[in-house]
Amino acid sequence: MGIKSLIVSTVAAIWISTALVGAAHAEPLRIFYFIWVGYGPLFVAQEKGFFAKEGVQVELINNEVHAAAFGGLFSGQVDAVAGALPDAPQAFQPDEEPLVCVLALDDSRGSDGVLASKSIRSVTDLKGQSVAFLKDSLQQFYLNVLLKEVGLSEADIEAVDLSAEDAMQVFLLQEVDAVVTQDPFLTQGREAEHGHLLADSSERPGLIADCLITRRDVFNERKPEFQALAQAWSAAVDYVEAHPGEASEIMARHLGGGLEDPAVFAESLGGIRLYDAEMNREYFGTPEQPGPIYRTMQHAIDVWTELGVVKAQITPADVIAHGIYDE
């Protein structure tokens, strides 16, 4: 085959592949997201044309109500949720199509943590103390992992169920002894004169991770689109690294909330690690040689089972799906 014919054939193959992705579903992949720094590259992929380059349409929809977001996934209102990895087993329903993590987005390297009164010097000292955090959240999962490591459980503390913002407020007012929170509240709370940073996620890389969660049947049906999205995501992660100033402006503008200031966004970005394609391959491993995601998922299953949230017998393999970066 001559070089001209090869080029024509290659271009045709790319066009057909892209057309097939677009033709597989006329509707875009609809994704619910929460306001979190680690989801910012989705907007970089959208604004810089990486989704379009990969031939996939993506609609990003903010939904800050956790139960409603995952209810929309079960009902088919959306196709995926950008959420915390422990959300997948937490939302497991025996009579529903299982939810699976398909793409790792980021992990926390200091953006989540525990602030405590200065009299509390270790996690063990939390016993009998009032601790504010949002129930059924990533913060509850993180706290329970910390407690379990020192032989305690949630029953050993006085749990105060509050949103991240409200939890920080009561800590600043010294109405609770400790708070489990995330950025930008964690950074703000470090300045409290009566408190200090007791622990943060930098001590446990890979434990507090975020991923794209979808139903297993949706992933199987629309896998080419999810794969195209994953390629665009990886390109966006590379762009964030190469153009941090511009990228922070884009991500802050779209995410808003407490992250609308690009400077605050950039500071918060320093507390996480974004996952590109290669890091996803390492994190997921293979079904035959599972990667670190299996260990983190087992932590989540154990925590939610002990708290009575998960009542079914499930394994990490039930809530993890491989293949988004198949060559």
Query: pLDDT tens across 40-51, in order?
Result: 999 999 999 999
Residues 89 and 7 in one domain: yes
Residue 115 lies in a domain: no
Domain hosting 263: range is 3-109+207-319
Contact 309, 136 (CB under 8 A): yes
Q: 268-286 burial by CB neighbour count: b if 16+ within 10 A, else e?
A: bbebbbbbbbebbbebbee
Is 100 a domain residue? Answer: yes
Spatial CB neighbours of 191, under 8 Å, sequence gap ≥ 6: none
User: Is the distance from CB of 34 to CB of 69 less than 8 angstroms?
Assistant: yes
Same domain, 96 and 130: no
Q: What is the pLDDT of residue 5?
A: 31
The contacts of residue 74 (CB under 8 Å, 6+ apart) are: 91, 93, 96, 97, 215
Spatial separation of the C-alpha atoms in residues 189 and 24, rounded to whole Å: 48
Q: What is the mean pLDDT of residues 222-246?
A: 97
Residue 2 scores a pLDDT above 60: no
Q: What is the DSSP string of 262-321?
A: HHHHHHHHTTEEE--HHHHHHHHB-SSSB-HHHHHHHHHHHHHHHTTS--S---GGGGB-
Which residue among 151, 181, 203 closes a domain? 203
Separation between Cα atoms, residue 313 and residue 304, nearest integer Å: 11
Q: Does residue 325 form part of some domain? A: no
Looking at the structure, do residues 179 and 226 belong to the same domain, yes or no?
no
Amino acid at 156: D
Q: What is the pLDDT of residue 184?
A: 79
* pLDDT at residue 323, as a whole number: 94
- Within a domain: 172: yes
How many residues belong to the chain? 327
pLDDT at 287: 93
As a whole number of angstroms, the distance between CA 214 and CA 72 comes to 11
Domains of the chain: total: 2
Q: From residue 302, give the alpha-carbon distance in Å to each of 106, 123, 148, 248.
A: 22, 19, 10, 36
Asked, for residue 114, whether it belongs to a domain, the answer is: no
Q: pLDDT tens digits for 63-91?
A: 988 889 999 999 999 999 999 999 999 88
- Please state the pTM of the whole predicted model: 0.84
Q: Is the pLDDT of residue 6 over 80?
A: no
Q: Is residue 324 part of a domain?
A: no
Q: Are residues 226 and 189 in the same domain?
A: no
Specify the pLDDT at position 1.
33
214 and 103 in one domain?
yes
Please state, as a whole number, how many other Cβ atoms lie within 10 Å of the Cβ of residue 75: 8
Residue 209, pLDDT above cutoff 70: yes
Mark whether 39 and 131 lie in a shared domain. Answer: no
Q: How far is CA 324 from CA 4, 45, 233, in A?
A: 32, 17, 12
pLDDT at 25: 54
Last residue of a domain, one of 170, 203, 236: 203
Is 118 a domain residue? no
- Alpha-carbon gap, residue 80 to 57, rounded angstroms: 13
Whether residue 117 lies inside any domain: the answer is no
pLDDT the model gives residue 190: 80
79 in the same domain as 54: yes
Q: E-strand spans in the chain?
A: 29-33, 58-62, 80-84, 99-108, 112-117, 130-133, 158-161, 178-182, 195-200, 209-215, 272-274
In a shared domain, residues 37 and 138:
no
- Look up residue 26 and give its two tokens: 């006329």
- C-beta of residue 201 within 8 angstroms of C-beta of residue 111: yes
CATH of the domain at 278: 3.40.190.10
Contact present, 255 and 47 (Cβ < 8 Å): no
pLDDT tens digits, 150-203: 999 999 999 999 988 899 999 999 999 999 998 778 877 888 889 999 999 989
Based on the domain organization, do 215 and 304 belong to the same domain?
yes
Same domain, 19 and 101: yes
Tokens of 181: 């929170």
Q: Is the pLDDT of residue 134 over 60?
A: yes
Taking 3-state DSSP, the helix, strand and coil percentages for the chain, each rounded to the nearest 5, stand at 50, 20, 30
Mean pLDDT of the chain: 89
For residues 40 and 260, the answer to whether their CB atoms sit within 8 Å is no
Which of 187, 203, 219 is the endpoint of a domain? 203
Average pLDDT over residues 101-108: 96
Contact indicator for 200, 113 with CB cutoff of 8 Å: yes
**Is residue 143 located within the same domain as residue 227?**
no
**185 touches 164 (CB < 8 A):** yes
Q: Are residues 19 and 153 located together in one domain of the fold?
A: no
Strand-pair partners of 108: 272
